[in-house]
């Protein structure tokens, strides 16, 4: 029996792709610990840039705005997305397919198109751009991620459980949170984590739907590139990268556990 030849080309190709993707990030992380302001000279390890980061009122204000927007958008989009998934699941196949296809649009539409269209909508409605318009925009593009995280759990659920609860005299609303919600809770949790991650990382939609008075962290990083990137921005970007990476690892781990 012939031994299979190792796929050397595939291994080399994947290695080069990973280096291309992650080498700049690793360099940025290393620079966030460099004592020198220069990007071309290493003068020693330091945590000074992280200390300065947490003493910068502008960055702390942006962090507060980012967390407020992400938390509120996550809570609201999780509730709407979960109820929307339950509603679509209970419809006939034709109407359900139409709504599912429509719900895919915010996920497939380029962010710049979504951001500009939402900005025009707020301007047309005479709603001043600020923190609350940014929150509403984040809710709008977070909902589909929750919706499509919950839908698979609804399909896996035994459809007779809800009917049995009603036959035993349970009120429909009580049956909803006593029977259906516990069954789909893993999907709700995964959708909420995805919504929080997307909101935390967003720049384009936030840029078009908010004002300079309420910048989030991604806007602060973008603005700093115009004036020259300071080492504190390396520290901020590193913390954002690590936070989002941990959230994605948690999401993937929960997804794998749900498939078992």
* Residue ranges per structural domain of the chain: 56-259
Binning pLDDT at 50, 70 and 90, where does residue 257 land? low
Binning pLDDT at 50, 70 and 90, where does residue 147 land? very high
Mean pLDDT of 53-66: 87
Are 250 and 231 contacting, i.e. CB atoms less than 8 angstroms apart?
no
Most confident of 2-11, 55-64, 136-145, 208-217: 136-145
Q: How many residues are present in the chain? A: 260
Q: Cα 110 to the chain's mean position, in Å?
A: 15
Angle at 144 between CA 140 and CA 145, to 5 degrees: 110
Most confident of 1-10, 151-160, 247-256: 151-160
User: Which string of b and e fits 197-222 if b means at least 16 CB within 10 Å?
Assistant: bbbbbbebbbbbbbeeebbbbbbbbe
Residues 6+ apart with CB under 8 A from 91: 99
pLDDT at 255 over 70: no
* Per-residue model confidence as pLDDT tens digits over 201-228: 888 999 999 888 888 888 887 777 776 6
Determine what percent of the chain falls in helix, strand and coil, rounding each to the nearest 5: 80, 0, 20
Which residues on neighbouring strands pair with residue 34, listed in sequence order? 45
Is pLDDT larger for residue 9 or for residue 146?
A: 146
Q: Decide: residue 226, CB within 10 A, 0-12 exposed, 13-18 middle, 19+ buried.
A: exposed
pLDDT at 4 over 60: no
Fold of the CATH domain 56-259: MetI-like fold (1.10.3720)
Can you tell me the distance from the alpha carbon of 60 to that of 217, in angstroms, rounded to the nearest whole number?
9
Binning pLDDT at 50, 70 and 90, where does residue 6 land? low
Sign of CA dihedral 223, 227, 233, 237: positive
Average pLDDT over the chain, rounded to an integer: 85
The per-type count for the chain, helices as H runs and strands as E runs, is 12, 0
Is pLDDT larger for residue 172 or for residue 151?
A: 151
């Amino acid at each position: 029996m012939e031994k299979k030849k190792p796929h050397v080309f595939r291994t080399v190709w994947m290695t080069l792709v990973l280096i291309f993707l992650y080498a700049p990030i690793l360099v940025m992380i290393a620079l966030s610990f460099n004592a020198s302001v220069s990007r071309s000279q290493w003068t020693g390890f330091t945590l000074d840039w992280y200390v300065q980061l947490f003493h910068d009122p502008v960055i702390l204000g942006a962090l507060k705005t980012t967390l407020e927007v992400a938390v509120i958008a996550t809570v609201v989009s999780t509730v709407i997305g979960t109820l929307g998934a339950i509603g679509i699941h209970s419809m006939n196949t034709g109407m359900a397919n139409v709504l599912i296809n429509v719900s895919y649009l915010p996920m497939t539409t380029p962010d710049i198109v979504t951001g500009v269209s939402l900005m025009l909508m707020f301007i047309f409605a005479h709603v001043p751009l600020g923190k609350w318009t940014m929150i509403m925009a984040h809710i709008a593009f977070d909902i589909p991620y929750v919706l499509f995280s919950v839908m698979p759990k609804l399909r896996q659920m035994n459809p007779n459980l809800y009917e049995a609860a009603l036959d035993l005299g349970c009120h429909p609303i009580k049956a909803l949170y006593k029977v259906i919600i516990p069954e789909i809770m893993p999907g709700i949790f995964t959708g909420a984590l995805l919504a929080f991650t997307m909101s935390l990382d967003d720049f384009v939609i936030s840029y078009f739907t908010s004002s300079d008075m309420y910048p989030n962290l991604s806007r602060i990083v973008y603005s700093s590139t115009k004036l020259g990137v300071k080492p504190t921005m390396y520290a901020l970007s590193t913390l954002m990268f690590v936070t989002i990476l941990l959230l994605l690892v948690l999401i993937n781990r929960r997804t794998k556990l749900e498939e078992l």
